[in-house]
Amino acid sequence: MTINIVIHKAEEGGYWSEVPSLPGCSSQGETLEEVKRNTLDAIHGCLECDRKELQNKIPSNARILALAV
């Protein structure tokens, strides 16, 4: 799966990122490599939170399956 991120140069130095397909998912770092690494961690965290929230909303006779695309 490919997720697009937008990396901005921060006014105070370093970089910050946002993930348009995951509203509220963002990160920062001093270098491009660091902001990419931190953003990947943020994406994993956002997706894990979404999965946990979904588990609380589905009926007990339903299942959640993960599909890699």
Instruction: Name the domain count of the chain.
Output: 1
Q: Letter for the amino acid at 66? A: A
pLDDT of residue 61: 81
pLDDT band at 2 (very low <50, low <70, confident <90, very high): confident
CA distance 27 to 52: 21
Sequence-distant (≥ 6) Cβ neighbours of residue 15 within 8 angstroms:
7, 8, 9, 28, 29, 30, 31, 32, 34, 35
Residue 63 falls inside a structural domain: no
Residue 64 falls inside a structural domain: no
Q: Which residue range(s) make up the domain with 14?
A: 6-57
Query: 19-39: b or e for each residue (b if 16 or more CB lie within 10 Å)?
Result: beebeebbbbbeeeeebeebb
Which one has a higher pLDDT value, 31 or 66? 31
Residue 62 falls inside a structural domain: no
Residue 69 falls inside a structural domain: no
pLDDT of residue 68: 63
Under DSSP, the state recorded for 9 is E
Could you report the per-residue pLDDT of 8-64, keeping only the tens digit for each?
A: 999 999 999 999 999 999 999 999 999 999 999 999 998 888 777 777 787 878 876
pLDDT of residue 59: 80
